[in-house]
Structure 1
Amino acid sequence: MSTNVEDLLFKNEDYTKTPLPIGDYDGCSFEQCNLSNCNFSGFVFTDCEFIDCNLSNTTIRKTSFNDVSFMGCKLLGVNFKEMSAFLMRMNFTNCNLQMSIFDTLKLKQTLFVNCELQQASYIDCDLMYADFDDSNLQDAVFINSNLQGTNFLKAYNFNIDPEQNKMKGAKFSSTDLEGLLQKFQLEIS
């Protein structure tokens, strides 16, 4: 049985022991909640925000995130590829998304601002006009992705092969071009 929840604040809750009831959450805020290892399969989150929450290793099979903001959250190892892509729109600010999987998703204009994205996977992903401002992309994988118009101006530790991605109009700082040329093993000074 599914619950409909609107405009509620969930604060300082630990859902690892008593799970959040399955349902549709509209206009809700989750602050400083422990949601790690929870199963959100079939949940719908619309116009919600997660602030300073731990969502590491959550299962999000067929979960909907429609206009959802994650701020200061820990989302280690989350497989976003499994979520429902219908009306999906998310933004991430000051989040730890290490080892998360975004393969095959349409993430046009998604914000990844000041995020830890080490070992994140973006294979066959549409990131057109996304923004990786001030994000750490060490060992993140970009293969066969649309990076046209994407902002990497202040991103760092990236290794992106221009021959394996669409990159027309992508923005990079001239001081960080080494991350585009690593496969050629050039010495740049």
Structure 2
Amino acid sequence: MAERLHGVPRPETVTTVSHEDWDVEDLSGQRHEHVAFDDVSMIEAVSTGAVFYECTFRNVRFNASEHNDTAFLNCTFKRCSFFDAAFTGCKVVGSMFDGCTFDLLKVTGGDWSLVSLRGAPLGSATFTGVRMREADLSGVRGEGATFRDVDLGGALLHGADLTGADLRGSDLSSLDPLAARLKGAKIDTLQATVIASALGFEVLPS
């Protein structure tokens, strides 16, 4: 089971939205604070500039939804589905994902720092140009996932399976290559130098 970083407890909610159909809804500009969303369908919903603050999403279907410059701050996602969902320029700082599925998820830009994705199945997800500093990615199942130009400074990657993942351009300074599965992962020459140094090699010019 995923946990919040540093053992921070889940924020309490004060209102509940349950068993509602928000499919194809335009949530742009809406603000929700301390709301529990239980078994809500948000399939193909869209949002621009919306704010969800310390909300809890349980069994929410975000499939094929599109979110632009929307904030999900310190939220909790339990058993949610993100099939083919797209997040562009969104802030998801401090949020936790537990038991969710991420098939074909596309994340472009934005700030996902301090998120907990511990043990998450990210195999077909794509993260591009995202800030993920100090994120908990320990034990993620990222076989074949894409992390291009991602800021992973200080991220927890112990036990991550990144077999065949595309990691080019990302900050791998916190990666212990002996504590993760990296066979077939794609990296660039600068990253190769960083990993070689982490393994104790002295990298010299030819």
In structure 2, the residue matched to 1:123 is 138
Alignment of 1:34-113 (within 5 A): 34-80=51-97, 82-85=98-101, 88-113=103-128
Q: Report how many aligned residue pairs link the two structures.
A: 186
- For the aligned residue pairs, the C-alpha RMSD in angstroms reads 2.1
Question: Which secondary structure state, in structure 2, belongs to the residue aligned with residue 177 of structure 1?
Answer: helix
CA separation in 2, counterparts of 1:147 and 1:21? 32
Q: Percent identity?
A: 18
Residue type of the partner of 1:168?
A: K
For 2:179, the aligned partner's letter is: Q
Gaps of 5+ in 1: none
Contact 1:159 1:180 in 2 (8 A): no
Distance 1:84 1:171, change over 3 A: closer
> Partners of 1:172 and 1:54 in 2: how far apart?
31
1:12 correspondence with 2:33: no
Contact persistence 1:161–1:181 (CA under 8 A): no
What TM-score do you get using the length of structure 1 for normalisation? 0.87
- Aligned-pair distance for 1:151? 1.0
The structural deviation recorded for 1:74 is 0.3
Query: Residues 49 and 117 from structure 1, CA distance in 2 versus in 1: closer, same or farther, beyond 3 angstroms?
Result: same
Unaligned runs of 5+ in 2: 1-17
Relative to structure 1, is the Cα distance of residues 182 and 36 closer, same or farther in structure 2, using a 3 angstrom cutoff?
farther
1:138 counterpart residue number: 153
TM-score computed with the length of structure 2 as normaliser? 0.81
Q: Kindly state the Cα deviation for residue 133 of structure 1 after the two structures are TM-superposed.
A: 1.0
1:148 deviates by 1.2
Matches of 1:84 and 1:171, distance apart in 2: 26
Whole-Å separation in 2 of the counterparts to 1:28 and 1:98: 24
